[in-house]
Amino acid sequence: MKPVLALVGRPNVGKSTLFNRLTKSRDAIVADYAGLTRDRHYGQGKQGKHEYIVIDTGGFEPDASSGIYKEMAKQTQQAVAEADVVIFVVDGRAGLSAQDHDIAKYLRKIGKPCLLVANKAEGMREGIQLSEFYELGLGEVLAISAAHGQGIRGLVDLALEPL
Ligand code: GDP
Ligand code: MG
Per the structure, the complete domain to which residue 66 belongs is given by 4-160
pLDDT at residue 28 tops 70: no
- The β-bridge partners of 90 are 118
The verdict on ipTM greater than 0.95 is yes
Which of 50, 32, 22, 146 lies closest to 90 in space, CA to CA? 146
How far apart CA 46 and CA 142 sit, in angstroms, is 20
User: Which atom belonging to ligand 1 lies closest to the Cα atom of 13?
Assistant: 3
pLDDT of residue 76: 84
pLDDT of residue 129: 83
| CATH code of residue 42 | 3.40.50.300
Q: Among 39-43, 140-144, 148-152, which is the least confidently predicted range?
A: 39-43
Q: Are strands 85-91 and 50-56 parallel, antiparallel or unpaired?
A: unpaired
pLDDT band at 67 (very low <50, low <70, confident <90, very high): very low
Number of Cβ within 10 Å of residue 16's Cβ equals 17
How far apart CA 5 and CA 92 sit, in angstroms, is 21
Concatenating the DSSP letter of every residue in 16-76 gives HHHHHHH-SEES--SGGGTTS-SSSEEEEEEETTEEEEEEE-------TTTSS-HHIIIII
> pTM for the complete prediction?
0.88
- The β-bridge partners of 129 are none
What average pLDDT score do residues 80-96 get? 96
What average pLDDT score do residues 127-151 get? 93
How far apart are the CA of 140 and the centre of ligand 2, in A? 24
pLDDT tens, residue by residue, 143-162:
999 999 999 999 999 999 87
pLDDT at residue 57 tops 90: no
pLDDT of residue 101: 95
Q: Does 20 count as an annotated binding residue? A: no
Q: What is the mean pLDDT of the chain?
A: 84
Q: Ligand 1 within 6 A of 152 CB?
A: no
pLDDT at residue 27 tops 60: no
Exposure class string for 105-132: b at 16+ Cβ within 10 A, else e: ebbeeeeeebbbbbbbbbeeeeeeebee
- 3-class DSSP state of 2: coil
Nearest ligand to the CA atom of 15: 1
How far apart CA 10 and CA 149 sit, in angstroms, is 20
